[in-house]
Amino acid sequence: METLKIMNPATGEILKEISCHTEQEIKLILENGQTGFKKWAKVNAHERSRLLKDWARKIQEHKAELAEIITKENGKPLSEAVGEINYATSYIDWYAEEAVRIYGRTIPASSETKRIVVSRQPIGMVAAITPWNFPAAMMTRKAAPALAAGCSFVVKPAEETPLTTMRLIELAHEVGIPTDVIQYVNGQGPVVGKLFTDSEFIRKITFTGSTPVGKVLMKNSAETVKHLTMELGGHAPLIIVEDADLDYAVSQTIISKFRNAGQTCVCANRILVDENVIEAFSEKLTAAVNKLTVGNGMDTNVDIGPIINEKGFNKIVAQVEDAVAKGAEVLTGNKYDVNKEQSSFFVYPTVLKNIDVSMAIMQEETFGPIAPIISFKTIEEAVEIANSTPYGLAAYFFTNDYRVGMYLHDHLDFGIIGWNDGAPSAAHSPFGGMKESGLGREGGIEGIEPYLETKYLSIGNLV
Ligand code: SIN
């Protein structure tokens, strides 16, 4: 039987070995999900809302336990894991409220004997594929609107971090959300992904992960014309305008860049600084980065945990080496703590200067604690550099000049923009990307729409 060994990336300790579901088991889970959907779609919205609120409450009661699971399987510092549980809960709270606000409408008809009524219905069974970097929040960001809308839900968590998802789903069952309405499947991505895309029962796939995998899911979903939400890669620019408050901008850059050791889709990946303030900004950023501590996320006062695996680590090192070979200056970092035997890979937070657009670090997502600084002369040039990749997820800029701010807002091709804000994500806001960063939005009032079908009824022959 195929198994997954769940490993603590800080220590190499095997936390648990779990069985992968077989093809037959997965097919049965999907059949159950279809039965679950038929029942759940008929549960009234107030009851769905109540059950979601109970789930949120239960998660909060188990916050310490869940945070520890996240830190052990993902590596992020415990304080960040606690923050993630709160963030994950906020999606359930938000969509518990939205469940009772799924409104239809009436349309004035062109004849006195007709009425037209528009109603919203749950789309069907939803399959989610979630990443290892936010094992709790990326699951609830999908499950909560699906369940609120009346859909059943099955999730394949990342092979590295299934334990958080499994525990969250157990808690959902404990509060009374039926076992066939929310389920998980463990297995290898390509195998489970294909069973999901081939399934006649699944009406929607929602995925957070890399752009290449998203493209495969999109292609494979074409056969059964599934609805899709794709939260794909990012390569966020962070622009420091000449007039920016540099101390404040540095503090927000630290939040954006180094959360989860830089392993987020929205983290600042390319730091663009006006040439007139680049020296001052680089100095201040380097001083702040030098205060960050690296280590096991379970230890107190650790800011930067391990990189999830060797593949991720090798990509980071290759980008830094490429940049240095092409003339980048290392202001701090470029230091590693590696124990290959126990598979633990730590990268010290690194600041690089003298970056240019020919370097791989300016073209590809990094997913690590590396801050490359590139200079610009004009706002137009900053926008051109920022928009010059296929990605369009998040962008940040720092200025107190409202005209420059609005110019940047209008010209940056990104779905999420932080203006003097390094942490724009929130359950009540529509998270999602443009270009090859994805399709659709999660969070906010937009986030429930992809789980609903629109149906209209035209009644004739009235008196
Ligand atoms: C992500 O990196 O995929 C999500 C980050 C967030 O929700 O802020």
Instruction: Report the share of the chain in percent with pLDDT over 70.
Output: 100
Question: Which atom of ligand 1 lies at the shortest distance from residue 264's CA?
Answer: 2
Residue ranges around ligand 1 (CB below 6 Å):
133-134, 208, 264-266, 425, 431
| C-alpha to C-alpha distance for 102 and 122, rounded to whole angstroms | 10
Q: Which atom of ligand 1 is nearest to the CA of 263?
A: 2
SS3 373: strand
Give, for ligand 1, the residue of 87, 263, 266, 414 to mutate: max count of ligand atoms closer than 8 Å to Cβ: 266
Mutate which of 76, 129, 260, 431 for ligand 1? The one with the most ligand atoms within 8 Å of its CB, which is 431
Question: Measured in angstroms, how far is the CA atom of residue 133 from the centroid of ligand 1?
Answer: 8
Q: Are 369 and 348 in contact (CB under 8 A)?
A: yes
Of 134, 142, 365, the one to substitute when testing ligand 1's pocket (max ligand atoms within 8 A of C-beta) is: 134
Question: Which positions ≥6 away from 229 have C-beta within 8 Å?
Answer: 142, 204, 205, 206, 207, 432, 438, 439, 440, 441, 442, 450
With cut-offs at 50, 70 and 90, classify the pLDDT of residue 309. Answer: very high
Question: Residue 389: what are its φ and ψ, rounded to 5°?
Answer: -115, 170
**In angstroms, what is the span from residue 107 Cα to ligand 1's centroid?**
39
Is residue 283 scored above 90 in pLDDT? Answer: yes
What confidence tens digit (pLDDT) does each residue in 409-429 have?
999 999 999 999 999 999 999
pLDDT over threshold 90, residue 170 = yes
Do 164 and 16 touch, CB atoms closer than 8 A? Answer: no
pLDDT at residue number 416? 98
**Is 265 considered catalytic here?**
yes
* CA–CA dist 290, 287 (Å, integer): 5
- Evaluate if pTM is beyond 0.95: yes
Instruction: Quote the ligand 1 centre to 425 CA distance (angstroms).
Output: 7
What is the arithmetic mean of pLDDT over 370-396?
A: 98
Contacts of residues 403-411 at CB distance under 8 Å and 24 or more positions apart, as own/partner, are 404/241, 404/243, 404/379, 407/379, 408/239, 408/241, 408/379, 408/382, 408/383, 411/383, 411/387
Which ligand 1 atom minimizes the distance to the CA of 423?
8
Provide the pLDDT for residue 1. Answer: 84
Mean of pLDDT values over 20-31: 98
Active site (annotated) includes residue 159: no
Ligand 1: centre distance to CA 265 (Å)? 6
pLDDT tens digits for 187-216? 999 999 999 999 999 999 999 999 999 999
- What is the pairing mode between strands 125-129 and 202-208? parallel
pLDDT at 223: 95
Three-point CA angle 372, 369, 335, nearest 5°: 90
Mean residue pLDDT of the chain comes to: 98
Tens digit of each residue's pLDDT (9 = 90 or more) over 68-81 = 999 999 999 999 99
Cα gap 120→430, rounded to integer Å: 20
* CA nearest ligand 1 atom 6, residue: 425
Whole-number pLDDT of residue 178: 98
Q: Does residue 55 have a pLDDT over 90?
A: yes
Q: What is the pLDDT averaged over residues 1-21?
A: 97
The closest of 328, 123, 114, 98 to 206, measured between CA atoms, is 123
Whether the pLDDT of residue 315 is over 90: the answer is: yes
Domains and CATH numbers, the chain: 3-232+437-459 (3.40.605.10), 236-426 (3.40.309.10)
Active-site residue, selected from the candidate residues 160, 265, 267, 365 = 265
Cα-based angle 390, 350, 68 (whole degrees, multiple of 5): 90
How many C-beta atoms surround the C-beta of residue 316 within 10 A? 23
Bridge partners, residue 240, by sequence: 273, 398
